[in-house]
Amino acid sequence: MKILVTGGAGFIGSHLCDALIAREDEVWCLDNLWLGRENNIEHLRKDPNFHFIKLDLLDRVALNELFAASDFNAVFHLAANSDIRAGTSDTGLDQRLNFQTTIEVLEAMRTHQVKRLMFASTSAVFGENEAKLNEMDGPLRPISFYGASKLAAEAYISVYAHTLGLQATILRFPNVVGERATHGAIFDFIAKLKNTPEQLEVLGDGSQSKPYVYVKDLVEALLLTFQANLSQFEVFHVAGEGFTTVREMAVIVVANSANPEAALAFTGGDRGWPGDVPRFDYDTSRIRGLGWVPTFGSTEAVTHSVKRIKDNGF
Amino acid sequence: MKILVTGGAGFIGSHLCDALIAREDEVWCLDNLWLGRENNIEHLRKDPNFHFIKLDLLDRVALNELFAASDFNAVFHLAANSDIRAGTSDTGLDQRLNFQTTIEVLEAMRTHQVKRLMFASTSAVFGENEAKLNEMDGPLRPISFYGASKLAAEAYISVYAHTLGLQATILRFPNVVGERATHGAIFDFIAKLKNTPEQLEVLGDGSQSKPYVYVKDLVEALLLTFQANLSQFEVFHVAGEGFTTVREMAVIVVANSANPEAALAFTGGDRGWPGDVPRFDYDTSRIRGLGWVPTFGSTEAVTHSVKRIKDNGF
């Protein structure tokens, strides 16, 4: 199949490109290289089925030219500002990079009659809610611009799917960990320890707890739902089994660092920043019902990721 | 209080301006007069507490000048494309007029430290769902661009309320009827009968059924929740008791028309257009718990509105 992956040089996108190339799809990896890195896809460049396109999704003319020239069978729309915290200082950032990019993708798909969309959404659409939420549950009351922009994108995808013939599958991701991560707590912790190896500053009181998923397990979930026989509009929650606290993550990172004796220094408070959801869990029985079996539970995923990042030069 | 009403010359907005002026608030009625009409607020112009401002909310510079000059205590954000059907032909219309205007209002409020927002949302955020939905229920899967744009607006209001100090109250409106309506089934039926008095074309098979609310009852709901002691972010469903089918509405309009013998001609199908929700009902116990008692049930509201429009020159 001819598949467009937006954000294809990013953390999750590059792993997805790997998997699609392994499946012998023809892959157009689109990225503006704002968060994505050419390093992540360098190894794919020699494959004749792999095409890297440096393009900003907000460049409507260029996007339409690409769609007109390429005859895609499906789009995996992963391009986004994936750094939730960044959205707190620039209230328009997530609107442009998460919501408006989705509108541009939807319109290009409509114009060029591309019928299949896979979309990367987030648990952050729920906001602060400790119930074990399934895909039909409300309320949806995001507390971060990231969550709001993704919910806004979901809303528009719903309309295109219900009235304009698009078949859309939305996966709501939890925190994702693994090789090539460009952001997130593990990434931050490693960067901080490089600056101050004797002490690791941890935002909040460390009690924030969420489910994590290993990036390759997540890619499996994307491919599984992509291949499944689904209706016009479907939503799936994805997460590894269990959850992990920020304190546990910090301990795992320190234990694998150059200085396993580094002290943890908590900044205090129940959350890392305004918009951080302190506790979250959700019901993943729907995607498990399709046969998805992640390799790693939440804390295993964290541990594995830290070790792999260490192997690649911590 | 100093109150800004966006869309203040529109159908609902002008009734709200009436009620606020009656309460002796100082009212800034903002409208770009795209759907709003100067006629609707002509009678208020002589009141020294009433100020009409012709301004487009997407004109960021002018909006900021207004906020800087006026020191508002609260904003009722009602400006919107209220014609759900219009959004099916121009997929960007609702995004600009419903979603982006909300972003502009939120940013102006943040910049100028205005802390209280009342927002007109819609039952259309739910999409197609026949359950009796309350405010905490999901899923939110709109099937119209109108519903998607309002859900996107709700998502952003949630973030501003949860993290940036705004106090926001969202009322989800059903179909609203009454004097000064600028759109909707009654309005369409009257216009059609003027062209072809012998026959009334009705979109769909007439079985579509929804709750209607009388505009002055809705304004009461807005004022009641505005005055109530609420938390930072609250959502209320508003509707008159019961529901009304499109067939019933057509019969009521014909009975009150110049030709009460006019035949009904149904176009067929379970809905009027793609994006029309055929059947809808929701749980309004929350706002009733605050003491809201509408004058009219759903079908009474329709009948009363048709009679009042007839009195004013059908």
- What percent of chain B has a predicted confidence (pLDDT) above 70? 99
Q: Which residues of chain A have pLDDT under 50?
A: none
B103 and A110 within 8 Å at the Cβ level: the answer is no
Q: How confident is the model at residue B89 (pLDDT cuts 50, 70, 90)?
A: confident
Give the C-alpha separation, A265 to A274, whole Å.
19
> How many other C-beta atoms can be found within 10 angstroms of the C-beta atom of residue B273?
15
Residues of A whose CB is below 8 A from B91: 107, 110
Work out the burial of residue A46: count CB atoms within 10 Å of its CB; fewer than 13 is exposed, 13-18 middle, 19 or more buried: exposed
Contact B148 A128 (CB under 8 A): no
Interatomic CA distance for residues B128 and B125, integer angstroms = 9
Q: Are strands A209-210 and A244-245 parallel, antiparallel or unpaired?
A: antiparallel
A236 close contact with B: CB closer than 8 A: no
Residue B314 has a pLDDT of 59
Average pLDDT, stretch B164-186? 92
- In chain A, the domains with their CATH numbers are 2-176+212-237 (3.40.50.720), 178-210+242-282+296-311 (3.90.25.10)
Minimal CA–CA distance to A234: which of A290, A282, A182, A170?
A170
Residue in A with minimal Cα distance to B274:
A163
Best interface-test mutation with B: which of A60, A98, A159 has the largest number of B CBs within 10 A? Answer: A159
Contact A130, A279 (CB under 8 A): yes
Nearest neighbour of A155 by CB, restricted to B92, B128, B152? B152
Q: Which of residues 241-280 of A touch B (CB under 8 A)?
A: 274-275
Supply B124's token pair. Answer: 């259309």
What pLDDT does B26 receive?
Answer: 98
Token pair in block for residue B294 = 């509408």
pLDDT at A101: 98
Complex ipTM over 0.85:
yes
In tens, the pLDDT along A90-110 reads: 889 999 999 999 999 999 999
pLDDT at B313 over 90: no
pLDDT tens sequence across B237-257: 999 999 999 999 999 999 999
Whether B147 contacts chain A with CB within 8 A: yes
* Nearest CB partner across the interface for A158, out of B92, B110, B148: B148
Which pLDDT score is estimated for B230?
96
Q: Which residues of A touch B137 (CB under 8 A)?
A: 138-139
* Contact between chains at B139 and A138 (C-beta distance less than 8 A): yes
* Residue A233 touches partner B, C-beta closer than 8 Å: yes
Give A99's contacts in chain B (Cβ within 8 Å).
152
Q: Residue B43 has what pLDDT? A: 97
What average pLDDT does the structure give for chain B?
95
Burial class (CB in 10 A: 0-12, 13-18, 19+), B311: exposed
Q: How many CB atoms are closer than 10 A to CB A75?
A: 25
d(CA B282, CA B171): 13
Nearest chain A Cα distance for residue B138, angstroms? 4
Alpha-carbon distance B110 to nearest alpha carbon in chain A (angstroms): 11
Side-chain-facing half-sphere of B279: CA atoms under 13 Å: 8
Which residue of chain B has the CA closest to A94?
B156
Partner-chain contact B137 A139, CB within 8 Å: yes
Give yes or no for a contact between B215 and B182, defined as CB atoms under 8 angstroms apart. no
CA distances from B309 to A106, A210, B253, B314 (A): 41, 56, 10, 6
Q: What is the pLDDT of residues A110-155, one digit of tens each?
A: 999 999 999 999 999 999 998 999 999 999 999 999 999 999 999 9
Q: Is B127 on the interface with A (CB under 8 A)?
A: yes
Maximum CA pair distance of chain B?
58
Mean pLDDT across the stretch B151-176?
Answer: 97
Q: Which amino acid is at A134?
A: N
Give me the residue from B99, B139, B143 closest to A163, CB to CB.
B143
- Residue A204 φ/ψ region, left for φ over 0, alpha for ψ in the -120 to 50 degree band, beta for the rest: left
Q: Are B57 and B104 contacting, i.e. CB atoms less than 8 angstroms apart?
A: yes
- Copy the structure tokens of residue A52: 């890297």
Spell out which residues of chain B touch residue A92, defining contact as CB-CB under 8 Å.
103
Cβ separation B136–A138 shorter than 8 A = yes
pLDDT digits 0-9 by tens, B7-55: 999 999 999 999 999 999 999 999 999 999 999 999 999 999 999 999 9
A130 has a chain B CB within 8 A of its CB:
no
Q: Does B152 touch chain A (CB under 8 A)?
A: yes
Whether the per-residue pLDDT at B117 is higher than 90: the answer is yes
